[in-house]
Structure 1
Amino acid sequence: MSTPETQSKSTSAFLAQAAIAFGVAFIATAAGIIYLPLDIWQRGFLLMTMLFLVSSTFTLAKVVRDQHEAARVHHRIDEARLEKLMAEHDPFRAA
């Protein structure tokens, strides 16, 4: 009565596409900030905010993934408990 493990894995092509898209976006944003007609401190501020945005995005993605995995583990534990109760239940036994 257990359900098969259906964990979707990303293909290598999707991983490569995501990495390339991230690299292009990061380099384009950095180049745009560097070539803006601004003072050095203004460029520095924009570069620091861009780096903070990237690091907080990675942190958010990790937290969302961890919560999803924890919920999946709890769901599997609940399923195992239910299967154990159903296996141990004898409807013809006198109470």
Structure 2
Amino acid sequence: MSTTQVRPTNTQAFFVQSALSFGVSAIGMATGVAFLPVGAWTRAFLALGLLYVITSAFTLAKCVRDRQEETTVSGRVDQARLDKLLAEHDPFKVDNP
């Protein structure tokens, strides 16, 4: 009998995608705003693109936090308890009064 993991986890691909998204957006926006030959108002408008960098940073922080939580002892103990309960549970068992 195989058990399925109940707690959702992030895949390695999602973690890499969020890290790359943060890095590319931060470097691209900083370079673009710094070297574009335009006036101050245009630079300020383009700096609004840094909002994307901020959302990418939150996504990356969430991934790092979730990965760290997966390795904590309490998380592993809770997962083991849940796996044990699910393994012992019989959904077709009927209790007769």
Instruction: Tell me the TM-score normalised to structure 1 length.
Output: 0.42
User: Of Structure 1 and Structure 2, which has the larger fraction of its residues in helix?
Assistant: 1
TM-score (norm. length: structure 2): 0.41
In our comparison, the structure showing a higher alpha carbon Rg is 1
